[in-house]
Amino acid sequence: MAKEVIKISTLIGSGSVCDGDFRCTGSARIDGTVNGDVNVDGVLVVGTLGKVNGDVFAKSVQIGGEVVGDVKAPERAELTATARVLGNLTTNVIVIDENAVFQGSINMNQEVPERKEKGFAFRKAVKEGKKSASLAVSEALKKAEGDSEEIKTEEI
């Protein structure tokens, strides 16, 4: 699969520091430091020397440097092997290379169905000490009425 060519319209070079929010209507590459939120209409590339201390909003991102803040990239987010992201990530497609550092949660813009795992109610009730195991199993079986899946129990 061929790599997509990205036309960069704005570059924050190595050694440059931007104190405050940064906005770009095209695509951008950051090899310096931005101390503020970054909002890019196109693709944002954070080079291996790049650092963002703030939230990032872009159509898609390729991160090889450091981002300390939340990242929202509706189309795609790629964290290369040198990436360090400390914050939550929201995207439809995620690629995280081996050795990348990511600390946060990922939301892939998918609707989450209601939790229907039958063993969940059982484990929760027993762990909280509110019910005996046999009463919890009985209640879980009643909730599962008409369902053909077996109830999963595990050692607590």
**pLDDT 10s digits, 81-125:** 999 999 999 999 999 999 999 999 999 966 555 545 545 555 555
Mean pLDDT throughout 123-152? 56
Q: What pLDDT does residue 3 have?
A: 65
Average pLDDT estimate for 20-46: 96
With respect to residue 131, please indicate whether it lies within any of the assigned structural domains: yes
Counted domains in the chain = 2
Residue 42 belongs to domain spanning: 10-107
Cα–Cα distances (Å) from 51 to 99, 125, 138, in that order, read: 18, 46, 55
Q: Encode burial over 52-81: b for 16+ CB neighbours within 10 A, e otherwise.
A: bbbbbbbebbbbbbbbebbbbbeebbbbbe
Is the pTM value of this prediction over 0.75?
A: no
Domain co-membership, 142 together with 75: no
Residue 22 counted as domain residue: yes
Region of residue 129 (left: phi > 0; alpha: psi -120 to 50; beta: else) = left
Residue 6's pLDDT is what?
A: 80
The residues, any chain, with a CB within 8 Å of residue 25's CB and separated by 6 or more, are 9, 41, 42
Is 32 domain-assigned?
Answer: yes
26 and 87 inside one domain:
yes
Q: What is the mean pLDDT of residues 135-142?
A: 60
Residue 155 within a domain:
no
Residue 4 lies in a domain: no
Whether residues 67 and 130 share a domain: the answer is no
Same domain, 56 and 130: no
Same structural domain, 99 and 65: yes
Please give the average per-residue pLDDT across 71-86, as a whole number.
Answer: 96
Query: Do residues 94 and 28 both lie within one domain?
Result: yes
Q: Confirm whether 2 is domain-assigned.
A: no
